[in-house]
Amino acid sequence: MGRAPCCDKANVKRGPWSPEEDAVLRNYVEKHGTGGNWIALPQKAGLKRCGKSCRLRWLNYLRPDIKHGGFTEQEDIAIFALYNQIGSRWSVIASKLPGRTDNDVKNYWNTKLKKKVMAGQIGLPTTITSSSPSSSTSTAHIHHSPSPAPPPQPPLLPAIKTQAYSSGEQRLDTNVDFTQKLYSEIAQFSTTGLMEQPDFGRSVSVSPSEDISAASSSSITVDNSSSNGCVNWSTDGVGGYDAFLSELGFGPTGDFFGGFGSQWRTEEVSPYYYSDLATM
């Protein structure tokens, strides 16, 4: 026996919300909150809507802190980097972009950003040389243990041309520093909980032993010459995540990538995202 429907579909209104309905829902939630029960809310509020529909309307449109449209280039890069890293986890990606909803990010990706990326207008660097010589160097290796047949791949972008961004060359130059730091964040994410990927028939091992989290200005290299896919980065040893996040308009470090290590079990993230980084 299947699940009972969440509401009587014959007696609920569907389709676009009217301004009056918006006002009723907004007033109710602002006065009483959701009460932890969206299903009961429409009846209490006097709305002929499904509870799920109310929840969606509130979360995606009526919430006071919502931003609509006007994605910045920094948000573009963050979305792209996160998509590359974790795939279509829109709610997770949106949670790193204050004021953005999963629906917004998903729509933006599907309608605009994906095309931008495919057109080469957005990309992640293969090599960036920091302006100051690094004082320490760390390396993350992605090892692909022998596997007879690769598993189905998660949705990934077509290969992004990166040769143009060879060593010393600037790209997306409005924000190279941002991208460097973003990579550092991703690299740190890699060290926090993604050590093995048995479910995919491959393993990912990540060094360094050194703590790279102090990096604020990093040099990152993806070694395309190695079949192992080797991501190198070096740091200047200067702290500054919070400054970085502040530049992006994000909250403290923990609000950005900090939750990743504990948020997913290791088997939930495909190593293809790493290999994709390495082969782009």
Q: By C-beta, is 53 or 235 nearer to DNA?
A: 53
CA separation for the pair 78, 231 (Å, rounded): 19
CB of 252 to DNA, least distance (A): 20
Which of 10, 19, 37, 225 forms a contact with DNA (CB under 7 A)? 37
Binding to DNA (CB under 7 A) within 143-172 occurs at 155
CB of 154 to DNA, least distance (A): 9
Binding to DNA (CB under 7 A) within 113-142 occurs at 115
By CB under 7 A, which span of 54-62, 77-85, 123-131, 182-190 interacts with DNA?
Answer: 54-62
Which of 45, 57, 78, 184 forms a contact with DNA (CB under 7 A)? 57
Query: How many other C-beta atoms lie within 10 A of the C-beta of residue 62?
Result: 17
Binding to DNA (CB under 7 A) within 90-109 occurs at 90-92, 102-104, 106-108
Cα-Cα-Cα-Cα dihedral sign, residues 126, 132, 137, 138: negative
Backbone torsions φ then ψ of 177, nearest 5 degrees: -60, -40
Determine the 3-state secondary structure of 96 from DSSP.
coil
Residue 228 · residue 142 · CB < 8 Å: yes
- Site membership for DNA, residue 11 (CB under 7 A): no
CB of 240 to DNA, least distance (A): 29
Q: What is the 3-state secondary structure (H, E, C) of 180-231?
A: HHHHHHHHHHHHHHCCCEHHHCECCCCCCCCCHHHCCCEEEEEECCCCCCEE
- Site membership for DNA, residue 52 (CB under 7 A): yes
- Site membership for DNA, residue 40 (CB under 7 A): yes
Name, in order, each residue with C-beta under 8 angstroms of 172's C-beta and a sequence gap of 6 or more. Answer: 73, 77, 122, 123, 125, 179
Binding-site ranges for DNA (CB under 7 A): 1, 3-4, 6, 9, 14-17, 34, 36-40, 50-53, 55-57, 60-61, 68-69, 88-92, 102-104, 106-108, 110-112, 115, 155
